[in-house]
């Protein structure tokens, strides 16, 4: 049970970090996307 919960928490953290990193890379690249506001990563 403890191992299963730790794997679940690890998966959630890994997904959150990976998605944040990928969003940062996309917004940093300057690609214009629908819905991009730039408020989170200071997109210009």
Q: What is the 3-state secondary structure (H, E, C) of 1-44?
A: CHHHHHHHHHHHHHHHHHHHHHHHHHHHHCCCCCCCCCCCCCCC
**pTM higher than 0.95:** no
Predicted pLDDT of residue 11: 97
Of 29 and 18, the structure prediction assigns the larger pLDDT to 18
pLDDT tens profile 27-44: 777 666 656 566 666 655
pLDDT tens profile 5-16: 999 999 999 999
Question: What CA dihedral angle connects 34, 36, 37 and 42, to 10 degrees?
Answer: -150
- Core vs surface per residue 3-30: b (16+ CB within 10 A) or e: eeeeeeeeeeeeeeeeeeeeeeeebeee
């Amino acid at each position: 049970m403890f191992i299963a919960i730790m794997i679940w928490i690890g998966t959630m953290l890994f997904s959150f970090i990976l998605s944040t990193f990928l969003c940062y890379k996309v917004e940093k690249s300057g690609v214009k996307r629908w819905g991009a506001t730039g408020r989170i990563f200071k997109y210009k």
